[in-house]
Amino acid sequence: MAAQTAVDAAVISLGYTPNRAARSLVTRRTSSIALVINEPNARVMADPFFAAVITGITEAIRDTEMQLVLLMSRPDDDPSRTVRYLRGGHVDGAIVVSHHKADGWTEKLADSGLPTVFIGRPWDTGLGIHYIDVDNFEGGRLAALHLAAAGRKHLGTITGPMDMTAAADRLAGWHTGLREAGLPPGPVIEGDFTPAGGMEAAERLLAEDSRVDGIFAASDLMARGAITAIQAAGRSVPADIALVGFDDHLAAPGELPLTTISQPTSEMATQAGRLLLADIENPTPGRDPVIHPARLVIRASSQRQEG
């Protein structure tokens, strides 16, 4: 006890700081985790979804020695450089968000043995990758049922990129909701989760079927872009076209309040961070996925105005 007290006093008086590089040689730990985002820089900086992800992960590691390393690449980039970095012992684990079908992250990281958690369902769930997601299928279904209940008869949807599971699941739920409501399938236009993509997709959707009186956009950013296109076509939201988004991240003053499917992105990211920390300390294969319920938040964009 006296020896420990003397050591502690010496540490304080000398201002000693442990050498992490030397310690990592002994522990084989780097005290770093990677966040892998397979999107262009411009989209990452402009989309509140990614800010919520970073905020949530930072909360998970706030009281630890872990540092967060951000790795960004575009979907059409060669992922080998990032894979080499992840396999090279530079980080203790990785969180992957915005996963595209062709990027191969699931297979590459499953083979590496690096503790990994996906935010969003990976395409191949049979490889043992842990993941956290919202119920995207139910979100699409709720959007269709809500628009139908609001009396809209000619419905169309703007999907996200169809090489992402979130977009595929939301579209599948949308079609199920239409069938349950007894409505025929309307136009389906693929978007890219950006306002510009939403505007372009909405223009194409209205050109394909001018009778459309309700639209589900698979992200709030695309819904905002769709409003611009709808207004440019001489129509209004919600009087002529009811609109539902997905995310619940946007609340700019003065804008039309947007009906949306809410997903707790920051909470999901915090859970992903904590799950990764647990797997680094005690690898546990075969964990069940964590799926958050989708929640419909009704606002003015899908409600008929009185008078």
The CATH number of whichever domain residue 209 belongs to comes to 3.40.50.2300
Residue 32's pLDDT band (boundaries 50, 70, 90)?
Answer: very high
Residue 307 lies in a domain: no
153 shares a domain with 75:
no
**Could you report the per-residue pLDDT of 207-234, keeping only the tens digit for each?**
999 999 999 999 999 999 999 999 999 9
* pLDDT value for 252: 61
Rounded Cα–Cα distance for residues 122 and 119 (Å): 8
Q: What average pLDDT does range 96-125 have in this prediction?
A: 89
73 shares a domain with 147:
no
* pLDDT value for 24: 43
Residue 144's pLDDT band (boundaries 50, 70, 90)?
Answer: very high
283 shares a domain with 233:
no
| Core vs surface per residue 233-269: b (16+ CB within 10 A) or e | eeeebbeebbbbbbbbbbeeeeebebbbbbbbbbebb
Smallest CA-to-CA distance from 264 within 255, 272, 256 is with 272
In the chain, the number of structural domains is 2
Omega cis (within 30) before 238: yes
282 shares a domain with 182:
no
Q: What average pLDDT does range 263-269 have in this prediction?
A: 97
278 shares a domain with 178:
no
74 shares a domain with 16:
yes
Mean residue pLDDT across the chain: 88
Residue 250 lies in a domain: yes
258 shares a domain with 186:
yes
68 shares a domain with 8:
yes
Residue 101 lies in a domain: yes
47 shares a domain with 8:
yes
Residue 87's pLDDT band (boundaries 50, 70, 90)?
Answer: confident
111 shares a domain with 87:
yes
- In DSSP notation, the chain reads -HHHHHHHHHHHHHT----HHHHHHHH---SEEEEEE-S-HHHHHH-HHHHHHHHHHHHHHTTSS-EEEEEE--TTS-THHHHHHHHTTS-SEEEEES--GGG-HHHHHHHHT--EEEES--S-GGG--EEEEE-HHHHHHHHHHHHHHTT--SEEEEE--TTSHHHHHHHHHHHHHHHHHT-----EEE--SSHHHHHHHHHHHHHH-TT--EEEESSHHHHHHHHHHHHHTT--TTTT-EEEEEE-----TTSPPPEEEE--HHHHHHHHHHHHHHHHHS--TTPPPEEEPPEEE--GGGSPPP-
Most confident of 21-25, 98-102, 231-235, 286-290: 231-235
**Could you report the per-residue pLDDT of 63-83, keeping only the tens digit for each?**
999 999 999 877 677 777 888
Q: pTM for the full model? A: 0.88
Residue 199 lies in a domain: yes
108 shares a domain with 93:
yes
Residue 38 lies in a domain: yes
Residue 33 pLDDT greater than 90, yes or no:
yes
Q: Are strands 295-297 and 290-292 parallel, antiparallel or unpaired?
A: unpaired
**Could you report the per-residue pLDDT of 151-209, keeping only the tens digit for each?**
999 999 999 999 999 999 999 999 999 999 999 999 999 999 999 999 999 999 999 99
Residue 128 lies in a domain: yes
277 shares a domain with 165:
no
Range of the structural domain that residue 159 is part of: 136-262+296-302
